A and B are shown apart, each in its own frame.
Chain A
Amino acid sequence: MRNIWIIARRDLRAQFNSPVAYVVIGGTMFLVGVLVFLIPHVGNAFMGNFWELDRASMDQMFLYLPPLMCLFVVPAVTMRTIAAERGSGTLELLITMPVRDSEVILGKFLASLSVVLILLAATLLYPIAMFVWPWNLGPLDWPTVWAGYLGCILFSSAAVAVGMMLSSLTESDVIAFFMTSATLSILYAIGWMASIIPGAAGDAVEFLSFQTRYQSFARGLIDTRAVLYFLSVATVCILVSFRSLESRKWS
């Protein structure tokens, strides 16, 4: 157990020692700010920005956060976890310390998840700035916001696990980045296709999609099936990463 913390702490410090974590957090804050507050609505009535919505709600932020996470936050945070260590050979020194493979994987998972959680905590500044201080634009329905954050946390656990799994399958962080970005974007975007595809195939797509699972949280509902789904995806991906790390022994 202790080893997990030691490894997680080292990885987290490494993330903040490189510019990646700052670029990701700063960049996302900037993009969320621009998308939520500045881009005017584009045809679709649903897509109006924060001001056009004319309600005390953070719905817009929870609409834009997951796609940004899929496209670049999670891939950038997880790309180095295992791929870079394998590529540079530091994995050999780490694993030949008296640590279990599972401790290495869990430590790295926690470190990456922490970066994403720090980002999510930073986005809290927006609702606070709008509805608490310095501005107080109206009574915000905080439970909905917390449900949205819970959704984001579960969503990012699953996404980080997917990213780490893909990172464990390659030696190049660039490949890991693009594979993760593509996989997560597809898992998210198929949600839009679910309504077009008829029959069982449509149901299957809806079952797999991160988007349909996430949407109930964004609306303020905590759906146990969705909770279970994200946690299962995270567990399976962590297990696959563990197996992939272990496979070095036999190849």
Chain B
Amino acid sequence: MSNDVMIYANDLSKSFGSFRALDKINFEVKRGEIVGFLGPNGAGKSTTMRILTCFISPTSGTVRVNGHDVFDAPLQVRESLGYLPQRAPLYLEMSVLEYLRFAAELRHLDPDTFRKRAKNVVEVCGLAQVLGREIRHLSHGYRQRVGLAQALIHDPPILILDEPTSDLDPNEKAEFLDYLKQIGQERTVMLSTHNLAEVEASCARAIIVSRGRIVADGPLDDIRAKSGRVRYVVSVQESPGSVGYRGRGEPPKKGEVESAFAAVTGVKKLGELPTDERAHAFELVSDREVDLRPDVFRLAADKGWVLLELHRDAQTLEDVFRSLTIGDERRNRQLGAPSDQADEDQDDGSDDSAQEPPRRGAHDRHEKTASDRS
């Protein structure tokens, strides 16, 4: 193992009774990397982080942090990392300064070093104005900052942050992510989050976990390319409305447009997008190498339809994330759905385009909230 590997997990498994929270996961994180740890709720993110911090023990597998094994040298492991658990559980009756001093004492910082470090982290985390306040009187955003300050107080080579931005407002988030990039240059940072925009803003690499397994691991560009699909949005005028109809003949019916687009070569999937009465909007999906736009334009022109919109989306991380973890969401939405089937259409889905809901767009979100409510 080279010295540059700061976190090393090999065949890491964890079971809670008969529930397998982690199933033989393998990954390495090197010095200077900022890794986003992604996954739906219950995928095993927090479990992994708790194992890395020696809060719980793995059922099997090897984990080394900064070269120390979590079984043999838990104290050395903990010394080399700063950890912010989910929702920053702090002692509410202590003041911010007292808490930081307590953390520094347990880390055996001498008073001089503590003063120096405290000055630094207080500035970085924006805590100067609340230093004397009791933590119980602070907002969740501030508590999260105190949690972060506590994790940074001993200047650790490794930072493990479990949903560090969940309670921050957008400005604080942006500030925090900037800061993360800055400190991540000589440190190893692993942060878990649901928010994909944050990963795109601050991490070069992501690990996506789903149901206790790693479904993607690598630079963001590679992950984005993983599904190999491209998405198009096409809309065709449906009624004259206030602008008048400038096409040939009558405006087309929905079924007509739909079947015509479905017949274009290279279309792997077609879904309807919600619109008002003026347009029919569809989402088309093709392989990455093909470009559907010339064919779509030609088709509309030949039919005499008015093309209101045609654009090509590169897959966003969110699309990839959804397609990689869709098995999870289905399982969560329909209790007791057969899990084998959910597994199968996890990442291909080329043969069931009819049943599969469109991956993105308001249409799908409506459906999701509706079923969440029920």
Contact = CB atoms under 8 A, between A and B. Distances in A.
B91 A95 contact: no
Contacts of A93: 83, 85, 89-90, 147, 150
Interface stretch (B101-109, B119-127, B349-357): B101-109
B56 A249 contact: yes
Interface in A95-127: 95-100
A250 interface: yes
A14 interface: yes
Contacts of A90: 89-91
A153 to B, nearest CB: 28
Contacts of A6: 102, 105-106
A interface: dominant SS:
helix
B interface: dominant SS:
loop
A98 B89 contact: no
Contacts of A10: 91, 94, 102
Interface string B55-95: 11100000000000000000110110001011101111110
Contacts of A248: 55-56
Interface in A58-106: 88-90, 92-93, 95-100
Contact of B55 (A13, A88, A95): A95
A6 B50 CA distance: 24
Given A6-B102, A93-B150, A96-B53, A88 B108 contact: no
Contacts of A88: 89, 92
B90 A99 contact: no
A14 B53 contact: no
A139 B94 CA distance: 47
Give the bracket for the number of chain A residues in contact with chain B: 20 to 34
Given A248-B55, A249-B56, A251-B16, A97 B106 contact: yes
A2 B108 contact: yes
B285 interface: no
Given A6-B102, A98-B107, A89 B57 contact: no
Nearest to B162: A92
Interface in B325-349: none
B264 to A, nearest CB: 54
Contacts of B89: 88-90, 92-93
A10 B98 CA distance: 9
Contacts of B85: 89, 92-93, 96
A246 to B, nearest CB: 9
A17 interface: yes
A88 B87 CA distance: 10
A24 B291 CA distance: 77
A166 B107 CA distance: 29
Contact of A17 (B54, B93, B106): B93
Interface residues of B, number: 29
A136 interface: no
A99 B83 contact: no
Contacts of B91: 10, 14, 90
A88 B86 CA distance: 11
A96 B78 contact: yes
A98 B82 CA distance: 10
Nearest to B51: A249
Contacts of B93: 14, 17-18
B78 to A, nearest CB: 4
B45 to A, nearest CB: 15
Contacts of A97: 78, 103, 106-107
A3 interface: yes
A173 B102 CA distance: 24
A213 B239 CA distance: 95
A6 B108 CA distance: 10
A89 B86 CA distance: 9
Interface of A: 2-3, 6-7, 10, 13-14, 17-18, 88-90, 92-93, 95-100, 248-251
Sort A-B residue pairs by CB-CB distance and give the 3 closest, nearest first: A89-B89, A249-B57, A96-B53
Given A90-B90, A93-B89, 5 more contacts: A14-B91, A93-B83, A95-B55, A96-B85, A250-B56
15 contacts: A3-B106, A6-B106, A13-B94, A88-B92, A89-B85, A92-B55, A93-B89, A93-B147, A93-B150, A96-B83, A97-B78, A97-B107, A98-B107, A100-B75, A250-B56
